[in-house]
Amino acid sequence: MNFVFWLAQKEFRVSLETSGDNVLRARVGDAAHDVSAEFISQEEILLTVDGRIFNVIVHSNSVSHSVFMNGKLFRVEKRSAFKTLREERGRQKKRDIQTTMPGRVVQVLAAVGDEVKEGQPVLVLEAMKMQNEIKAPQDGRLTRVRFRAGDYVEAGAILFTVE
Amino acid sequence: MFKKILIANRGEIAVRVIRACREMKIVPVAVFSEADRKALHVRLAEEAVFIGEAKPSESYLNVDKLVAAAKKCGAEAIHPGYGFLAENPRLVKRCEEEGITFIGPPSEPLRLIGEKTSARRKMLEAGVPIIPGTLESVSDERDLRKKAREVGFPLLLKASAGGGGKGLRLVSREKDLLPAFKLARSEALSSFADPAVYIEKYIEEPHHIEIQILADNYGNIVHLGERECSMQRRYQKVLEESPSPFLDEGTRQAMGRVAVKAVASIGYRNAGTVEFIVDRERNFYFLEVNARLQVEHPVTEMVTGIDLVKCQLEIAAGRPLPFGQEDVSPEGHAMECRIMAEDPFNNFMPSPGRIVFLHTPAGLGVRDDSGIYAGYEVPLDYDPLLSKLITWGKTREEAILRMTRALSEYQVYGIKTTIPFFQRILLHPRFLAGAYNTHFIAELEKEPDHEDPAEEVAALIAAAIKSRRDAQASLCPVIPGQKNNWKVQGRIENLAKRL
């Protein structure tokens, strides 16, 4: 079986073929690897790649596999979804600032219509007792601020937009 | 000894106190907020009292609710843990009025040292060396500028009621003074319900080293050696070890004596920590007294073999210390990594969420003081500390190798943690040589991180194997009585292709 994945903004072609009892031959790009895989549960795999053991959790949805390994997270994007996402981003000139963490807005330091400079703090977000300044990613005009002081925000929410 | 105590805290420290209670046949009573209904400390306690909304001011910071909870369950004493109300004189006062024993110092020494500017004045009087700076807090903006010029840049703005790096800002230039002042005040207000900040001279290349002390009600005070706490990120300790690789025996002894003198001068009782800043030439200055059990207390427990929480309970119950200074002889080397729900690959952003898988390390010399379990949802309302991994070794080298090994076994999936960051620190030549100060992490973050290419390959292969399995699963017949929308969708798609 052949797969096309994206990882860290690079494209990888991966193929799998069975080459014996519980043994797989995997190709990543041009390199071949001897692989064995035991599913411990639906998402947990005891993986051996070229003799080295990896304890892996793979949590999947329709666009990507989240691969947890050695305390790290590798987000392996399925081809089509990643492409769509990139094309959509390419169309946008404005920059939406998303938060990667949920939290509470403590203070909004600029108003809609303000000209902001790159690196200028626009709002202060508090999560887990630490206050973080969320800065403008580029010079431009602040066209949208979606929250006010005291509001709770979810991870992934768009905080403000700079055009 | 007490029969029942209330633990006015949450997370790993509540679990730690519960464990000591169990071993002493004391009934541990947990308290919990709306966000903590399923928390580990509740699951491990014998009784638990609901105290209110997730917001700390409505629950863990609410003196009235905690005192009411203690009365309701019939607890004779309250253990405050660290953070929240641990150093709050109002809780201690209320306990004294209500006839509940507060497991910690009495209100008077707490008042003297809880407010940092008064602590500095008191220490100056007692002949303990302090860092140059203001002896009063600064509230007025004009006053701030004048005082800042007197102390000189770079300087630190510190929350008078603070601790743990919250409400603390380094200011190198005068033009940064005012914004930093405002942020420090607002952070101090939200963390400690008191916006007061003061100014302290910034010591270059500092080491942050603290001495653990125990004081009973009969004037016996012992110190239990030091903890090296210089491994900090944004003034938050991340890794601690004992003994300090930086100190010599003479300085160590002198710091121990000064720490005992410092706590004696204020009539301190129970467990406490005297923090010092140590400069390049090993001159040490009093920083603060932490009038509580510290996060990093296990490091001292591992080298001394003394259970600090049990000592706290014994002292609070009116028993004399069962040992003297001559009986304290630290052995070997211990270190602790604070495993946080933060993303080390994205500027340490908090990473709350559900833990889908958890495997914790074990084996000789490994201790995991944790507040989490598989399936637990880490709330965003509180501190991101998940667990403390502690290792002990005969030598520093053995403790480090053991920590490296233990971290490689530690698997927390579903949220991001600082485990990979510790793996990086533990391999760094400067850490291995013991040659680090409080700037180490800031410098480390500028160095490129070495990626392991084999991991990337393994991740891609794992994704391929999972994709293949998912594809096969979608072809499986549906088990009667078991409805699975994914399978239904898969079959619809397969049928559609055939048509």
* pLDDT, tens digit, 9 for 90 and up, residues B239-257: 999 999 999 999 999 999 9
Please compute the mean of the pLDDT values over residues B62-72 and round it to a whole number. Answer: 97
For A16, the closest of B352, B357, B468 (CB atoms) is B468
Task: Give which of B403, B416, B426, B461 to mutate to test A binding, by max A Cβ within 10 Å.
Answer: B461
Average pLDDT over residues B441-450: 89
Q: Is residue B183 part of a domain?
A: yes
pLDDT in tens, B79-119: 999 999 998 989 999 999 999 999 999 999 988 887 788 88
- The burial class, CB within 10 Å (0-12 / 13-18 / 19+), for B453 is exposed
> Does one domain contain both A119 and A52?
no
B349: chain A residues, CB-CB within 8 Å: 100-101, 127, 132
Q: Do residue B328 and residue B184 come from a single domain?
A: no
What's the whole-number mean pLDDT along residues B182-204? Answer: 89
**Quick one: B160 and B231 in the same domain?**
no
B367 and B334 together in one domain: yes
Last residue within a domain, chosen from A68, A88, A108? A88
CB contact under 8 A, B383 and A128: yes
* Contact of B90 with B110, CB cutoff 8 Å: no
The residue from A47, A63, A88 where one domain ends is: A88
Please compute the mean of the pLDDT values over residues B148-161 and round it to a whole number: 90
Q: Indicate whether B303 and B247 sit together in one domain.
A: yes
The CATH code of the domain that includes B83 is: 3.40.50.20
Please name the amino acid found at residue B285.
Y
Across the interface, whether the CB atoms of B352 and A60 are under 8 A apart is answered: no
* Cα separation, B261 vs B267, whole angstroms: 10
Q: B227, B233, B292, B396: which one is catalytic? A: B292
Pairwise CB contact (< 8 Å): B349 & A132: yes
Same domain (yes/no): B309, B366: yes
Do A8 and A82 belong to one domain? yes
Beta-bridge mates of residue A79: none
**What is the rounded average pLDDT of the residues B195-210?**
92
How confident is the prediction for chain B on average, in pLDDT? 93
The domain containing residue A19 runs over which residues?
Answer: 2-88
Same domain membership, residue B171 and residue B82: no
Using a CB-CB distance cutoff of 8 angstroms, which residues of chain B are in contact with residue A50?
A: 454
pLDDT reported for residue A89: 59
CA distance A87 to chain B (A): 23
- Boundary (domain end) residue, out of A88, A110, A134: A88
Question: What is the distance in angstroms between the Cα of B419 and the nearest Cα belonging to chain A?
Answer: 6
* Residue B221 pLDDT: 98
Q: Which residues pair with A130 in a beta bridge?
A: A127
Domain containing A47 — which CATH number? 3.30.700.30
pLDDT at residue B158 greater than cutoff 60: yes
Percent of chain B with pLDDT over 70: 97
Min mean pLDDT across B53-57, B453-457, B493-497 is at B493-497
User: Could you tell me if B417 and B435 lie in one domain?
Assistant: yes
What's residue B275's pLDDT?
96
Q: pTM above 0.90? A: no
The residue among B159, B176, B201 that closes a domain is: B201
> CATH no. for residue A149?
2.40.50.100
C-beta of residue B26 within 8 angstroms of C-beta of residue B3: yes
Q: What is the pLDDT along chain A (163 residues), one digit of tens a residue?
A: 899 998 988 889 999 998 877 789 999 999 999 999 999 998 999 999 999 999 999 988 888 899 999 888 898 988 765 565 555 555 556 778 887 777 888 889 988 999 998 888 898 888 877 788 888 888 888 988 888 888 888 877 888 988 8
Q: Give this complex's ipTM.
A: 0.71
Number of domains in chain A: 2
B51 plus B178 within the same structural domain: no
Q: What is the pLDDT of residues B332-356, one digit of tens each?
A: 999 999 999 999 988 898 888 999 8
Asked if B336 and B388 count as a contact pair (C-beta separation under 8 A), the reply is yes
Mean pLDDT, residues B65-86 taken together: 96
Look up the domain containing B465 and give its range. Answer: 458-498
* Whether residue A142 sits in one domain with residue A98: yes
Q: Are B258 and B403 within one domain?
A: yes
Query: Which candidate, B420, B431, B278, B235, places its Cα nearest to that of B342?
Result: B420
B53 plus B150 within the same structural domain: no
Contacts of B341 in chain A (CB under 8 A): 128
pLDDT level of residue B452 (50, 70, 90 thresholds): confident
Confidence of residue B206 (pLDDT cuts 50, 70, 90): very high
pLDDT of residue B427: 94
User: Nearest CB to B459: which of A1, A7, A106?
Assistant: A7
Claim to verify: residue A70 and residue A82 sit in the same structural domain? yes
Residue B192's domain is classified under what CATH number? Answer: 3.30.1490.20
Q: Alpha carbon of B300 to those of B240, B314, B334: distances in Å?
A: 10, 18, 8
B219 and B193 inside one domain: no
Closest CA to B67 of B8, B142, B149, B138: B8
C-alpha separations of A104 from A110, B52, B231, B495 in Å = 17, 19, 29, 47
Question: Which residues in B lie closer than 8 A to residue A100 (C-beta atoms)?
Answer: 343, 346, 349
Q: Which of B341, B459, B467 sits opposite A69 (nearest CB)?
A: B459
For residue B212 the two structure tokens come to 């653990």
**What is residue B131's predicted lDDT score, i.e. its pLDDT?**
93
Measured between CA atoms, the residue of chain B closest to residue A102 is B380
Averaged pLDDT, B311-327 = 97
Whether residue A71 sits in one domain with residue A110: no
Identify the CATH number of the domain in which residue B300 sits: 3.30.470.20
SS3 state at B39: coil
Indicate if B292 belongs to the active site: yes
The tokens of B241 are what? 């070890």
pLDDT of amino acid A93: 60
Q: Which residues contact B75 (CB under 8 A, 6 or more apart)?
A: B2, B4, B5, B6, B29, B69, B100
| Nearest residue to B426 via CA among B410, B413, B191, B31 | B410
Closest approach of A119 to chain B, Cα-based (Å):
15
Return the pLDDT at A139: 85
**CB < 8 Å to B381, chain A:** 128
